[in-house]
Amino acid sequence: MKKIEGLIAAAFSTLNNDHSVNLDVIPALVGKFVKDGLKGVFVCGTNGEGPNLTLDERMQVAEAYVKAAKGRLLVMVHVGHTTISEARKLAVHAQTIGADAISAVAAFYFKPASTELLVDSLAEIASAAPQLPFYYYHIPAVTGVSVDMINFLHLAEPRIPTLAGIKYTAATLHEYQACLNYKEGKFDILYGYDELLLSALAVGARGAIGSTYNFAAPHYYEVMRLFHAGRLEAAQQKQLQLVEMIRAFLKFSPIPAQKEIMNLCGLNLGPCRLPLGQLSASDQVTLRESLDAIAFR
């Protein structure tokens, strides 16, 4: 798979009011992504509540996205799990249904105590789907696993033949830049903090995966267009508007708040599962008012 240029939506979970998985809304969601110019969708990750779904549910969701995408979008399936054998089952399934790539976080209960153990774990997972590109999902703020990513690439390169790159969700832009330039840019390093997209572009980012691309992708593409046109001040102002949007929903639990924004866009993705909550009626009003105050919809 060639390096990805553009934006990928880290899709939210789609649940019914009884918290069962709702597959029926996925085609409409994929249609929105295609219309917004997204390059792909990242399935069953953090925003998709992957750790909150059963193995069977995760497989159903992945199948629904592959079927709905029909080659119009890349489908990257997150297969990370606290149990490596379960992650391998998800990887095998992703390859079987025709996904375009797989990704996995570090184990987040019993954590790998070294970069070597992290690579050993990921090599086991990636080897279950030898035909699919593999991306390590680096998100230390959630997993608590923070290792030097250049050392990771050095150790993982010979151990994981399918290693395509990293989904780099951390604010350490100096390390991100170093990863981009490792071995003259051999790997695809996709940036994962939406609020720092412009900063990532400045150090060489070409592709990104994020939650707010579900509902604000055209705005981010405008940031990218302005940056590449050399209109830095205009790009800064546009990015600032997006930062203000993010600050508006970060007053609440981020995933439930963003699912409410999707509801405002006309796509009801349902509630979140415990231990995540959902916005109260008054919080929904406050969120809408906050977005209106910065003229963001």
Give the pLDDT score at 296: 79
Phi and psi dihedrals of 181, rounded to 5? -100, 5
Selecting among 65, 136, 137, 213, the annotated active-site residue is 137
Is the pLDDT assigned to residue 43 strictly greater than 70? yes
Q: How far apart are CA 58 and CA 49, in angstroms?
A: 9
Query: How is residue 291 written in tokens?
Result: 């977005």
Instruction: Please give the domain boundaries of the chain with CATH numbers for all domains.
Output: 6-231 (3.20.20.70)
Give the pLDDT score at 34: 98
Give the pLDDT score at 263: 95
Helix, strand and coil content of the chain, in percent to the nearest 5, comes to 50, 15, 40
Q: How far is CA 29 from CA 20, 268, 288, 297, in A?
A: 18, 10, 21, 17
Structure-derived torsion over alpha carbons of residues 90, 91, 95, 97, reported in degrees to the nearest 10: 10
**Contact, 166 vs 135, CB < 8 A?**
yes
Q: Which residues are annotated as a binding site for pyruvate?
A: 209
Tally of CB atoms within 10 A around 249? 21
Give the pLDDT score at 1: 74
Q: How far apart are CA 276 and CA 49, in angstroms?
A: 9
* Residue found by looking up tokens 């976080």 in the block: 105
Q: Which residues, in sequence order, are bridge partners of residue 209?
A: 8
Give the pLDDT score at 19: 96
Q: Which residues are annotated as a binding site?
A: 209
Tally of CB atoms within 10 A around 1? 14
Selecting among 167, 168, 220, 238, the annotated active-site residue is 167
Cβ neighbors of 92 (< 8 A, separation 6 or more) are 128, 129
Quickly state the pLDDT bin for 158 (edges 50, 70, 90).
very high
Give the pLDDT score at 12: 98
Q: What is the pLDDT of residues 207-232, one digit of tens each?
A: 999 999 999 999 999 999 999 999 99
Q: What is the largest CA-CA distance in the chain?
A: 53
- The pLDDT mean for the chain works out to 97
Give the pLDDT score at 118: 98
Quickly state the pLDDT bin for 48 (edges 50, 70, 90).
very high
Segment 265-282 shows an average pLDDT of: 95
Give the pLDDT score at 146: 95
**Contact, 136 vs 156, CB < 8 A?**
yes
pTM assigned to the model:
0.96
Quickly state the pLDDT bin for 297 (edges 50, 70, 90).
low
Q: What is the pLDDT of residues 52-110, one digit of tens each?
A: 999 999 999 999 999 999 999 999 999 999 999 999 999 999 999 999 999 999 999 99
Give the pLDDT score at 210: 98
Our answer to whether residue 167 is catalytic in this structure is yes
Q: Smallest Cα–Cα separation from 176: which of 120, 138, 209?
A: 138
Q: What is the pLDDT of residues 233-252, one digit of tens each?
A: 999 999 999 999 999 999 99
